[in-house]
Each structure stands twice: as structure tokens, then as C-alpha cells.
Chain A
């Protein structure tokens, strides 16, 4: 049977799939809670990864293990095993280990820090093997489930980058699972540079406040030609500086993200910023420098790529409207290795990265159904 025909058959199964998944609702919810209540700040994901690997082991996956950067993984062998599909969901959250990680299940929603980003994604990984077995789905391809560490902020997606650079298993296709929103279909990455500008004033030789220095730099950043043709944008994310209202600040920091369709444009603006910092640092008693937090490359799949087309068809068959945005930094590590990949969301949620973050319960089975549907279609060979 050719791939296209298989895909048509898989799509025909889609409308009823969310209903078939109903018996697994509590299991998915329980996994969201159990994984989410284990703190996992970036660079401190060990305990959460241990739980994920335990779940993989319980499901009978093979090669349940961690690598040098702490990524957790397990393999569900396929009938033929000549291809490997990677499904990943990042394990870390922006919440410190000491914060209250208690989740609550209320009628219609689950609430808790990191529930959408990305406990729900991890719960899909932990539940998927049981669901596939329960539905009698035996893939031809090997299914590699991966919970990468060190994804957020300073982590700069080190976990997934390390895995894709060093894995001896050739990955055919990647599905990145994020908790929300349902309808997310990301398949391209913008060029981006996340950075922190630090200004430090030696008060013995300079009376300026570091905040004044930073303010001057922010004004200069506002003068940069962002080139609308390349959709270049500069986001000033956060500022921090000084210790008290009574004294000039000795330090000030700006965190920003520069993003663009064009790698060249990001590189050119990066050089401009470095030049500004050099000029600022020529003043006596002032130092100013840039620390790169995260980088991504521009690129990814075309809108007409079979993987994107199939994902779009599956979503529509399930009554999910794909969102307009197509860009996510999560795609960058895959395109750096020339691996076709898409990023999907499982349910709807809000208040991301705040303690009252929540996700809706009702849509999550549809979200899980789309992941299974796409797996089946990739396995059928019509997404290459």
C-alpha cells in the first residue's frame, strides 16, 4: 500500500480517535500532575528525568537511559525498525526548585507552575506507549521518546542539540510536543539572538549611574534599522539594576531578543550592538559587554512540505484550526541537523510561566489524538 493511501486511511480514523482515547484521560491527567509536581529548573532536571525514565521502563520501552547532559529517553521498537521517529518534550521549567509546585485539578482545568510549559508535553510522552498498546497500534518505525534538559533561557536548548549532534540513531522525523496551545503548528525557526547587556560602573572613577549608561544604550538600540523586509524585531525583555534608590547604580542589565527571517541580519545587528558596547566602554570607569543567552538559525520546512501538509490535514480532521504563527525556536536544533520536524500543542492554557499557569482538560485528548495521527502518517511513509 503506498504512503498516500495509508494516510487517507489514517485520516479516516481521526474523527473518532479522541473518543477512543477517553479511557486514558485519567492516566494523562495523573501523569501531568506527577511529573509537574517534581521541580525541574533548567540545569536541575535530574529528579523529573528519573521519573520519566521510570515511566518509560514501566511501559516496557527499551534503552531507557540518560546521556551526558541528562536527557531522558526510551525506545519503543517498531515492527521493521528501519526508521526512527523522535517525539520530544522539554523537561525544564522556569520555576526554582524551592517554589510551590503543587497542582490542583479543578473542573475543566489543571493549574500549577509549568503545567502548560511543559508538564502536559511530558505527560504525552509518558502516556503514549500505553495508549498505543491499548489502541492496538504497532508502528513499523522505532519510536524514540525524549525528554531533553536545558531547554529554556540560558539552557539554549543544549539538551536536544546535544542529543541530535551525538545520537548514533539516525532520526527520520521529529515531533516536538508543547503543552499549549492546541492548534500550534510550528515548522520554521527564525534567526534569533537572545542576549544580556551588562553595564558596570567603577564608582571610584565615574559618577554616572549604570542605569544612565544602559539607558543611553537602549536609546541607541532604538535607532537600529530593523529592516521590515526581513521581519526583524528587537524585543527588550527585562531590565535590572542598582541596589537602592539612594545611590547611583553600579550595575545594570538588559535582556533582549533579536529575531529575523535572515541569519545575516541578526549577525549584522549583533556586530552593531558590539560596536555600541565598545564605544560605551571607552568612557573612563565604565565597562559594557554582551553575553549571549540563546541563538537559533533561520529556516525549516516549507508550508508545502508533506509533513506540514499532513499535520494540517490531521488538525482540520479533528476540528482544530491551525494557528497562523509558524515560527518556533524549538525547530532550530532540528534544522541544524537537517531533520524535518514540526512542533504541536496539546491543549489550551494561559498564564504561562506564572504560578497560576493553567491548561484546559477537555481539549487535551484531541491534542493527543493529533500526535498519534501524525505518528501514524509519518510511519506510513507519506510525510517525507
Chain B
């Protein structure tokens, strides 16, 4: 795994390396790049206001790094859209973007439709549920793309996981990462284990990459991106940035089970496509979980189908809108 060590050395950053925003903006202007921020939402009224205020004030008004801040919503029933709009974000309902393609509920759907709706050469995705939001969540991710033309895709990671402290998680990943994704990567794509938090929801990507990869609409979107970009461009296309601490909602173990099921489907599909497994039987899409009610065990069946959107460059409306590129 010599390549992993070289890559970790050269392509792993800390956000503090990019503190000089004036220099970053000068480089961005010199390259003629445009950068869009996409915040996918579903009922995020408690955190979206602060997120929009901070990014608009710090990364548009004070340091013009972002050319647009866009919220793409999956159908919130709270005041998410009203709050985001009041603080200056462009707000869209996912269902209203490419309506001829229909609407599917899921974060991946929002991310996919963002490629059509947003205009930037680089799109940076930041989740809306981050309590300790800070401009570093954006500039830490876009900076490697601005300074290093060969880098295509920048992932975030948190909590300084490489530090040797008892107070810090040993490997940096969340529960699903450590008990599912990292073991799978270790078996099938060992180099991808170098990505410390493969499921982190914050990443910045060049448009030319985003438009050529498919998008699972649900839990598998991050995993599929890593595999698809890796198989085509190799580990060298990636970089990762330590963004320090991220405070967000804690998920229940049952919800993590659903997430793991969706990721596994995405993973197996790619193993199949790459000829890494053969003769798989027809797989069920049902996740079975159990609960106890008055000493009786009840089976709960969740049908989780990881549908995928095709690469955006195959969509006629996209080809028309971005024909100049």
C-alpha cells in the first residue's frame, strides 16, 4: 500500500492550510473558476438560517469565494425554505428542477438535480444539519481544487482522527464506516481505505466529474461516488481535508441499519459492474428489523430500493443548458 502513504502525505490537508482567503480568491479569479454551494435540505429550520448567514456574509460579501448559495429541498414541512430565503439563499424545490425527470425522495436526488440547477465549475455540497457551521466547511474543501488542477474530488473528515488522543475516535469514521464501508473497501478497493471518512456529507467536486457519474438517490450516493471516480481516475483524483469538529444530530442504530442496507446495495451493484463478483442470486430489497412488544417479537420489513439517476450528461435538458462547456 505504498500508494496510500504517498497519497496521505500529498493529498490530505487541514483547513488551516487555507486560511489566506485573499490568496485563494486571487487564484480562483486567475483561473476563471466559478463555485456554487449546494445545501440539500429536509426539515432543517433550526440550522439552515445560521448556515446561510455565515456563508453569505463570509464567503460572498467579505471574501467573494462563492458565486451562488443554493438550497435544494426535498419537501420540507417546516420553515426551512422561508428561513433560507429570508437570509439570502436561492431556494428550489427538488421536484421543480427537471420536472420531466420526475421526483424521487432522497438526498442523492437533490445532489443530482443540483448539477443541472447550479452554474459553478465546482460544486461544494454541505449538509444543513451542522450545528457548528463555519466558513472552513467550504473553503477547506474547494481550496485543493483551486490550487491543485489534478485533484477532482475533495472529501471532508473531522475530529483530527489521526491524533493519538484517548478523547478522539481512533479511526475517524462513524459507525457505518467502521463496521461496513471500511471492511468492504479493505476487501475490494484497498486504496479507498485511505479516505478517512468516506460517508461524510461535505465534499467539493468539479462539474466535469459530477456530470459523468450516476447518482444513487438514497444512502449510497457517497459510496458510489468514491468507487466510480476511483475506478475511472484512481486515488490521485481525490483529496481530503480535516475540518476539525462537526456537531450534528446523532442517528439511531435502526436508522444506521437502513443506511448500511442501502450502501450495501450500491456496493454490490458496482462489484457486479466491475466483474468483481459473479453469479449473484436475485437479491431482495427488504431489510428486516425486529422489535419486542409485550414479550412478542415483531418483524419490521423496510423496502429500501437504491434507485440511481443516470450521469447528468446523458440528460437532454442538461446537454442543452450546458452546451457551451
| Contacts from A to B (Cβ < 8 Å) | 26-27, 29-31, 33-34, 37, 58, 102-107
Contacts and interface: CB of A to CB of B under 8 A. Distances in A.
7 contacts: A26-B57, A26-B61, A30-B53, A102-B247, A104-B47, A107-B49, A107-B82
B170 interface: no
B249 to A, nearest CB: 12
Contacts, number: 47
A29 B86 contact: no
Q: How large is the interface on B (under 10, 10 to 19, 20 to 34, 35 or more residues)?
A: 20 to 34
B57 A107 contact: no
Given A102-B247, A105-B50, A107-B49, A29 B57 contact: yes
A26 B56 contact: yes
Contacts of B289: none
Contact of B132 (A29, A31, A102): A102
A22 to B, nearest CB: 12
A197 B132 CA distance: 40
A364 B25 CA distance: 31
10 smallest CB-CB distances across A and B, nearest first, come from A30-B57, A105-B49, A105-B50, A26-B57, A102-B131, A27-B57, A29-B53, A30-B54, A26-B53, A26-B56
Contact of A58 (B46, B62, B79): B62
Contacts of A31: 57
Given A26-B53, A33-B54, A104-B50, 10 more contacts: A27-B57, A29-B53, A30-B57, A33-B53, A34-B58, A34-B134, A37-B132, A102-B131, A104-B46, A107-B82
Contacts of B53: 26, 29-30, 33, 105
B37 to A, nearest CB: 15
B50 A103 contact: yes
A27 B49 contact: no
B88 interface: yes
Nearest to B135: A34
B62 A27 contact: yes
Interface in B44-76: 45-47, 49-50, 53-54, 56-58, 61-62
A304 to B, nearest CB: 41
B54 A27 contact: no
Contact of A106 (B46, B56, B62, B88): B46
A107 B62 CA distance: 23
A104 B54 CA distance: 11
Contact of A107 (B61, B79, B88, B132): B79
B88 A26 contact: yes
Contacts of B247: 102
Nearest to A58: B62
Contact of B49 (A34, A37, A106): A106
Nearest to B82: A107
Contacts of B88: 26
Contact of A30 (B58, B83, B86): B58
B230 interface: no
A33 B52 CA distance: 12
- Give the most central of A34, A105, A106: most B CB within 10 Å: A105
Nearest to A102: B131
Contacts of B86: 107
B318 interface: no
A52 B201 CA distance: 30
A241 B161 CA distance: 42
B87 interface: yes
Nearest to B130: A102
A102 B54 CA distance: 13
A326 to B, nearest CB: 35
A104 B131 CA distance: 8
B12 to A, nearest CB: 25
A53 to B, nearest CB: 14
B50 A33 contact: yes
Contacts of A27: 57, 61-62
Contacts of A26: 53, 56-57, 61, 87-88
A102 B53 CA distance: 15
A107 B87 CA distance: 10
Nearest to A101: B132
Contacts of B45: 106
Contacts of B134: 34, 37
A107 B50 contact: no
Nearest to A30: B57
Nearest to B48: A105
A58 to B, nearest CB: 7
Nearest to B61: A27
Contacts of A58: 62
A223 to B, nearest CB: 51
A29 B50 CA distance: 9
Contacts of B54: 30, 33-34
A27 B59 CA distance: 11
Contacts of B61: 26-27
Contacts of A104: 46-47, 49-50, 131
B81 to A, nearest CB: 12
A33 B57 CA distance: 11
Residue among B57, B58, B86, B87 having the largest count of chain A Cβ atoms under 10 Å = B57
Interface in B121-175: 131-132, 134
Contacts of B132: 37, 102
